A = this chain, B = another copy of it.
Amino acid sequence: MITGKNFLGNKRSAKGDKTYNTFNPALGLKNDWIFYEATQEELDEAAELALEAFITYKNISSERRAGFLRVIADEIEALGDLLIETYMLETALPEGRAKGERGRTVGQLRSFADALDDGSWVDASIDTAQPDRSPLPKSDIRKMLIPLGPIAVFGSSNFPLAYSTAGGDTASALAAGCPVIVKSHPMHAGTGELVATAIINAARKTAMPNGVFSNLNSSGIEVGQALVKHPSIKAVGFTGSIKGGTALYKLASERKEPIPVFAEMGSINPVVILPSALEEKGAFWANQYAGSIMLGAGQFCTNPGLILGLKGSHLDTFKTNLGKDIAAMDPSCMLHPTIYDNYERGKDQAITQGGTTKLNITSSKASPYFAEQLVLSTSGLEFLKNPKFHQEVFGPFSIVVECENVEEMHEILTTLEGQLTGTVLGNKEEISKYSKVVDALTQRVGRIIFNGVPTGVEVCPSMVHGGPFPASTDSRFTAVGTNSIKRWVRPVSYQNWPKDLLPDALKDDNPLKILRLVNGSYSDSKL
């Protein structure tokens, strides 16, 4: 069922002569399937089909688009064990994780279908005419969100399902009415092809236009670059490294017609541990954080890579506990040799900066590509003077920073780059007492957590997964939750438009029964 070919709309295609394999990091062996790198000609065909499909797809009813998303979810589930096995062969992630991620992926697709059924996401707004207004009459003006056009989606290495082929970017773009071209992630091209097949089957079953979805294989950067530069592409979704996301963002801004790029990139997810948390629950938090740092071999963008505490004996105890707890945990296999190599390099760089102490000593490695955890400790002064410590080390790695006092802790937070999350451990009184610190942290993050761990991103309307640069390239949007649809749409006003020819969302009798802003007041009634 895995052919290694690209999908140009509904058609499988393998015109290129460049091929590659995926890799099984648990066995240290290439997988058997051979993938055909997409050619420029194939990319052009996919883009042309997407633009053609857009003309039809944008006008397909929300109800039918919701049906399409639900059938994609069903088709992914119908792939059964084959998908789970392929996922595991290409990632070395355990079965539970594979199944959990599949559940999250189909859950996301269905939540966008529900949002389409509800319909209020189009932000309909109506200002009725005032023909007698003086000095000038007022026209009838109505507004709603419409899709941007074909979207390029770059799958992530660390979420082969939930942030890849049919992940949040694809689901939200298809929900918005935008065709999608996925640049398949080379580390899990087989998983990607299976999911692409599910999407294509769903498109056929629900009679969506050919070209509403394409899947391009690529092991290098050229296909992705060509995709972002293609004039038919109107926006880009990316999940991955700061280097990769920033490069695509710059490429998109240099186009003749610049386009928006939403790249969700790196983060060290600072944690501020306040005195009461150290005194009263230090051992508990050490244990929780050992687990959070180790989760999924540390391969989460919300992995806690920086823990700030105030110097003292309670922090010393916390460090000892954290070192002990994390040393007791079993390493697990990383996704790919490249990721493993980058992790090793990142750890080496951190250690060789000097001014650090290792909190845990690990045994010799269990197996190649298993990530040995490392937690370092350093002083606030060392951290402040060395920007290298501010960089994400993707894997089970963290630094505990011993701050001299609250002022130093505040200074560190104000010098940090943008982050996906920030966490405060303590009690309520301390949030007020350390308000300057909490405020500085809030300014740096997309999500602020009290007494918890940053790993685990709930899919719900109130979730923000994004944040000030470089957590994402546009902090005004989120990559997770139904609001992520807002990345792929723009408002359009209809002025003095014949009422029976308006889109349903803007008609007087509100046939979609959606919430609308009518002459300044929210209502789901007829006019």
Contact = CB atoms under 8 A, between A and B. Distances in A.
Interface of A: 55, 59, 118, 120, 125-127, 136, 138-139, 141-143, 146, 148-149, 246, 249-250, 253-254, 257-260, 417-418, 428, 431-432, 439, 442-443, 445-452, 456, 458, 460-464, 466, 468-470, 473-476, 478, 483, 486-487, 489-498, 500-501, 515, 517, 520, 522
15 contacts: A126-B462, A127-B460, A127-B462, A139-B452, A146-B442, A259-B469, A428-B498, A431-B498, A446-B491, A448-B493, A448-B497, A449-B495, A450-B498, A466-B491, A483-B491
A120 B496 contact: no
B475 A148 contact: yes
A495 B452 contact: yes
7 A-B pairs with the lowest CB-CB distances in the bound complex, closest first: A253-B253, A447-B493, A143-B462, A475-B490, A464-B493, A449-B495, A141-B462
A122 to B, nearest CB: 13
Contacts of A475: 148, 490
B520 A515 contact: no
A33 B63 CA distance: 63
B258 A254 contact: no
B463 A428 contact: no
A127 B461 contact: yes
A257 B474 CA distance: 11
B522 A450 contact: no
Given A428-B498, A493-B464, A522 B120 contact: yes
Nearest to A445: B492
Nearest to A257: B469
B125 A495 contact: no
Contact of A493 (B143, B148, B462): B462
Contact of A489 (B445, B460, B476, B490): B476
B464 A143 contact: yes
A466 B492 CA distance: 9
Contacts of A141: 458, 460, 462-463
A396 to B, nearest CB: 21
Contacts of A443: 149
Contacts of A456: 136
Nearest to A448: B494
